[in-house]
Structure 1
Amino acid sequence: MSLKEEFEEHANLAKTLPDTTTNENLLILYGLYKKATVGNVNTSRPGMFSMKERAKWDAWKAVEGKSFEEAMSDYITKVKQLKEQAST
């Protein structure tokens, strides 16, 4: 299985994470997913009254130095970690 196929499989798995998954972890996944699928941040930072969008933008910006492959690999690892935590 290629890295891209494994990434897509784990992106689908991420949709089944429990509701108890913290916002911090969801933001990490969001940033890695955007980096792996879009690349570096390509929009301006949302205003201070758009708290949710601003947090998502910040999470994406935080992984800006990673390569596509690194982001995919880190995303897969994070989903596995969260799935294991949910099953214990």
Structure 2
Amino acid sequence: MACAAVKQLKGPVSDQEKLVVYSFYKQATQGDCDIPAPPATDVKAKAKWEAWNENKGMSKMDAMRIYVTKVEELKKKETG
């Protein structure tokens, strides 16, 4: 449900908020980041990789809980 809620957000979501949500989604669905870091010249991919890699060692269940909490915060922020 949280995944669907993210796609329906209409309000402004900062790039930093998007990265946080992305990083917990990846940790919850795939676990620790196991791909090599992209080159620094690929700024977007590097930012996403770094955000996901910061959650290294976190359990999938903890990441899922945080992901849902973050999505709920964004929904509340949108409705004001």
Match status 1:63 vs 2:55: yes
Normalised to the residue count of structure 1, the TM-score between the two structures is 0.87
C-alpha separation in 2, matches of 1:27 and 1:18: 17
Q: Compute the displacement of 1:65 (Å).
A: 2.1
Cα 1:55–1:19 shift into 2, 3 Å: farther
Q: Compute the displacement of 1:19 (Å).
A: 5.1
C-alpha separation in 1, matches of 2:24 and 2:6: 12
Q: What SS class does the counterpart of residue 8 from structure 2 fall into?
A: coil
Percent of aligned pairs with the same residue?
Answer: 32
Pick aligned residue for 1:49 from 24, 35, 41 = 41
C-alpha separation in 1, matches of 2:44 and 2:30: 19
Contact 2:11/2:78, CA 8 A, preserved across alignment: no
Normalised to the residue count of structure 2, the TM-score between the two structures is 0.95
C-alpha separation in 2, matches of 1:82 and 1:19: 9
Q: Structure 2: which 5+ runs fail to align? A: none
Match status 1:84 vs 2:76: yes
Q: Which amino acid aligns with 1:27?
A: L
Q: What SS class does the counterpart of residue 15 from structure 1 fall into?
A: helix
Match status 1:14 vs 2:16: no
C-alpha separation in 2, matches of 1:25 and 1:83: 12
Pick aligned residue for 2:30 from 38, 55, 68 = 38
